[in-house]
Amino acid sequence: MSDMGQAFVLALQLIAALDAELLEIIARSFAVSLAAVAIAAAIGLPAGAALAVYRFPGRRAVIVLVNALMGLPPVFVGLLIYLFLSRAGPLGFLGLLFTPTAMIIAQAVLVTPIIVAICHRLTRDLYEEYRDQLCSFGARPHQAVRTILWDARVSLVTAVMAGFGRATAEVGAVLIVGGNIAGLTRVMTTTIALETSKGNLALALALGLILVLTAIGVNAVAMSLGGVSAYRRG
């Protein structure tokens, strides 16, 4: 118990002192996850809305698959990306293994299905409501996709936030493809795993606290955005 108390105090001291190593790790975590989420959103939002609008054979199967992929185990994704990026792999010539870019790719692969699936659920209902009106206006399907993405933009923040939460919290994929190299590919979650196993609980705990605070902050922002908009948009 006193161990834990001590570690907790040390953790708070690290945060309060803006410890350089701590800040660097936090900054890298955010940079990697933001980039991954940006890529995943750029692919996932149009894809999710397209699944709501277009009718094609196999659409249901795609939806089932995307929803299943939401629960993709990060270590497995890490392994796959590792195989692709390793020297002998098809993309080995790029020399990306154990770089932040590899971590961004891994997180983007993890997050994209989440954004597609949530975006699909959110835009499906909106499109149900809009369909006749948009047809009547003469909107083509690709125009309908743009319209529902724009009109659902506030609730879609939730989809992106969920993706960001998943990206910052996962450890398996970035550990495998990033290698947890100090000063290069070490992020919050991999540091926590490493420092805990080394018995350096203070740094691990400090990073854990930051992660939790991030999650709370992100959700608070998402919720207040949603609240403002519910009032403004009706």
Partner 1 sequence: MSILPLSLDKVSFRAGDRALLDGISLTIESGPKTVILGANGAGKSLLLRICHGLLGPSGGKVRWAEGTTRQYERQAMVFQKPVMLRRSVAANVAYGLKLRKVEAGERARRVADALRRTGLTDFADQPARLLSGGEQQRLALARTWALEPEILFLDEPTANLDPGATRAVEEIVSGIHDSGAKIVMTTHDIGQARRLADEVIFLHRGRVAERAGADKFFSQPSTEEAAAYLRGDLLW
Contact 119, 46 (CB under 8 A): no
Cα gap 66→60, rounded to integer Å: 10
| Residue 148 CA to its chain's centroid (Å) | 22
Does residue 191 bind partner 1 (CB under 8 A)? no
Give whichever of 136 and 197 is closer to partner 1, judged by the CB atom.
Answer: 136
Residues 103-132 that bind partner 1 (CB under 8 A): 129-130, 132
Does 13 help bind partner 1 (rule: CB under 8 A)?
A: no
Among 29, 33, 147, 190, binds partner 1 (CB under 8 A): 147
Confirm or reject binding of residue 137 to partner 1 (CB under 8 A).
yes
Q: Minimum CB separation from partner 1 for residue 122, in Å?
A: 12
Min CB(41)–partner 1 separation in Å: 20
Instruction: Using alpha carbons, select from 88, 100, 91, 93 the residue that is nearest to residue 173.
Output: 100
Q: Give the nearer residue to partner 1 in terms of CB position, either 53 or 167.
A: 53
143 near partner 1 (CB under 8 A): yes
The nearest distance, CB 144 to partner 1, in angstroms, is 10
Contact string (CB under 8 A) for partner 1, positions 203-232, x = contact:
-----------------------------x
The reply to whether 157 sits near partner 1 by the rule CB under 8 A is no
Residues 6+ apart with CB under 8 A from 104: 32, 35, 36, 39
Indicate which single residue of 6, 13, 133, 224 sits in contact with partner 1 (rule: CB under 8 A): 133
Distance CA 229, CA 232 (A): 5
Write out the DSSP string of 118-170. Answer: HHHHHHHHHHHHHHHHHHHHT--HHHHHHHHHHHTHHHHHHHHHHHHHHHHH-
Contacts with partner 1 by CB under 8 A lie at 129-130, 132-133, 135-139, 143, 147, 151-152, 232-234
